[in-house]
Structure 1
């Protein structure tokens, strides 16, 4: 049981002596509080094995907009079929239903060994097909992330800082997949060997340059950077990272990637690239980061970024997907909630009014202020 003002890293530091960990591990774990992780429903490095925060959350205490204290969830049981699953409403709620004050979290044993590898593919679709084959074979992936070729350069900035050059990646490579296996040494070795054997059927090439693999893992998980040499490119001093976070059907990832590039170029934005996080346990479910640089001092460029963001949101819905997978709705997506949810949005509004009848909790998030007051 934790107070939700604790960061995810503080929770793991506290349970480390017991050889346990909380596997919900976003890159922001040093600053992301437990409450923020629930309210924003952010991503995790290890989502393909452990899922997102709801897979770790057993129960939560909230203070509603009327000041009432409620316990939502199933105490220390791992699941329940009793009543409605009100606790699930908290994930991605952005503090609009209540202030989350305490949470009961499910911990896991720390694996003794981890092996991280990277493979390059001639296209994004081949990387997806390969992942599907690994899961079909029965392999237990701990982490899996697909980067387009553009995004790889963003994540390997630490490598360039250290060696003074870009890493060597084949010119034909259009996608890079990073995977990890964890557990007992013999099990990890077997799974890795089998995975590399299957890779030959998908025109994949193993990245032999361990410095590159370690650089990516540092960027993604440990964040142990040299001072003032973070993963953010030097241009972050001039332009900032801006992204849309849509989700699309598995079979349409490559098609959506080309649309992302097309839309970014249309709005004259410098492209960072696409990263596809796998966030559903033991299956392929994408959480996308479609990133560009934005000069926040240039009003016109900020306007073009917002237009780019809105267009990608609508496009994801047209692809039978969702406009948000880890940033939640924020103010930017609120105007399009009805486009995604249709008539069910009114049911959501009624739920909001039950928890917060005066509309005092994060007003303007999810719904316009006037909609809650009516």
Structure 2
């Protein structure tokens, strides 16, 4: 497989389309105070957690119901102006940036849990519901929603980017856990895909088409999700290792032996140091696995003992257990704050955060060579990984005013992703393509497959108004 020949997207292309005053007037007439052109509001909706700088959208519409979204999209379509869905702004690859101008539709106020069906293990929510909110509201049912990307993202955004996270090794990704959707199309029409049934052979799988489409085919307004019983027993543990290789070899053997571990996170020694400083912890500053086991008390005990035996073979030591909810929450909160801990470790920096995913058998090959390159670059970085499914993340911490550092960081990203592709992996395991991985998508999927995606895009969005300039160019 041939990697791209140039460093991918050092600066995104910015080609704004005109936003007629007539459209702004029409939006303000329809939405009143729900439509804002204030600079502070527009700027908030014109940036995410990526390092790209792009001018903000021309206006922001705060949708409160599906009809609001439909009316806003229909007006934008009338004037052929881009529409960019917005959840909480936690995306990492420039998904919500207005690279062609346009308007932002904020779905944060659409935050109702519409129906809970505990007997069927399903729930239907509006797109602005966050994962933490959902789990708080359904806790009394004895059920939970397991997909946990770290950030308290909206479920609409998680569906649009096909998110996964720490629990994916056991429970899968959004792809496996979204049963149906309500979507506003590029013309402003409202359609539904899927049902609450566990399976269907009826027609094209439009649900899977929309999950991962990153807002380029429609605006997701409702989602029907799978739920799971809260495990009878949950136990978490941390284990330090003499090297990253030892930790990774442990994970590979755990997965290949079929141990049904729920979570297994790799944190390198740099990141442990950053997390200790940020979260006031005293973790050993060595490569570490943070693990969680779900099941019956006997099953959890058996899983944990098996993993501990494997870890011992690779020099794992200082197994520490967290069996109370408070202890587990403290550990996982520290892990989820690793990004912010890293940012604070170098004041004023920006992070180029990237992820790849490879077959589990090639994880060590991909990860160790990438660590060696990062260590030799002189660029500070952090490394975390949902390594149970071969997915890991590098964050390169750069001075935004130093073009050389950006070039070095992008070169590291280029080499990392190219390596993953050559090992049979993917350019992104969960962040999505957005702006940053567009060239790599062509390398991974091939020109024919990407052209098929373009054909679908043109058919469903002939005016190219749905989050244009993301995933691929037209």
Q: Would the TM-score normalized by the shorter structure come out above 0.5?
A: yes
2:379 alignment partner, one of 235, 259, 269: 269
Assess if the C-alpha contact under 8 Å between 1:64 and 1:99 holds in 2: yes
Assess if the C-alpha contact under 8 Å between 1:158 and 1:215 holds in 2: no
Deviation, 1:352, is 1.2
**C-alpha RMSD over aligned residues:** 2.8
Deviation, 1:220, is 2.8
SS in 1 for 2:212: coil
Residue 247 (structure 1) aligned with residue 362 (structure 2): no
Residue 154 (structure 1) aligned with residue 265 (structure 2): no
After superposition, the Cα gap between the structure-2 partners of 1:19 and 1:212, relative to the gap in structure 1 and judged at 3 Å, is closer
Alignment of 1:149-228 (within 5 A): 149-158=269-278, 161=280, 167-169=283-285, 175-208=287-320, 216-220=331-335
Instruction: Describe the superposition over 1:238-267 as per-residue Cα deviations: whole angstroms up to 9, x where unpaired.
Output: 223322212223233223223323443565
Deviation, 1:213, is 7.8
Deviation, 1:149, is 2.9
Alignment of 1:1-374 (within 5 A): 1-29=124-152, 32-73=153-194, 75-135=195-255, 137-158=257-278, 161=280, 167-169=283-285, 175-208=287-320, 216-220=331-335, 231-232=341-342, 234-264=344-374, 267-272=377-382, 274-278=383-387, 284-342=388-446, 343-368=448-473, 371=474
Deviation, 1:67, is 2.3
SS in 1 for 2:259: coil
After superposition, the Cα gap between the structure-2 partners of 1:157 and 1:233, relative to the gap in structure 1 and judged at 3 Å, is farther
Stretches of structure 2 that go unaligned for 5 or more consecutive residues are 1-123
Deviates more, 1:80-89 or 1:343-352: 80-89
Deviates more, 1:198-207 or 1:240-249: 198-207
Assess if the C-alpha contact under 8 Å between 1:244 and 1:289 holds in 2: yes
Deviation, 1:58, is 0.5
Mapped partners of 1:271, 1:232: distance in 2: 8
Deviation, 1:132, is 4.3
Assess if the C-alpha contact under 8 Å between 2:161 and 2:431 holds in 1: yes
Which structure is larger by alpha-carbon Rg, 1 or 2? 2
Mapped partners of 1:37, 1:151: distance in 2: 25
Deviation, 1:33, is 0.6
Assess if the C-alpha contact under 8 Å between 1:157 and 1:233 holds in 2: no
Deviation, 1:356, is 1.1
Mapped partners of 1:121, 1:312: distance in 2: 23
After superposition, the Cα gap between the structure-2 partners of 1:220 and 1:158, relative to the gap in structure 1 and judged at 3 Å, is same
After superposition, the Cα gap between the structure-2 partners of 1:138 and 1:262, relative to the gap in structure 1 and judged at 3 Å, is closer
* Count of equivalent residues: 346
Runs of 4+ in 1 over 6 A off after TM superposition: 209-214
Specify the alignment match of 1:281 in structure 2: none
Q: What is the TM-score normalised by the length of structure 2?
A: 0.66
Mapped partners of 1:105, 1:231: distance in 2: 32
Instruction: Describe the superposition over 1:151-196 as per-residue Cα deviations: whole angstroms up to 9, x where unpaired.
Output: 332333345x35xxx6335xxx6x4222111233343233323332
Instruction: Describe the superposition over 1:104-143 as per-residue Cα deviations: whole angstroms up to 9, x where unpaired.
Output: 1111112243211122334444434433443455532111
Mapped partners of 1:142, 1:209: distance in 2: 15
Mapped partners of 1:330, 1:314: distance in 2: 17
Mapped partners of 2:177, 2:300: distance in 1: 24
Stretches of structure 1 that go unaligned for 5 or more consecutive residues are 279-283
Deviation, 1:96, is 0.4
SS in 2 for 1:196: helix
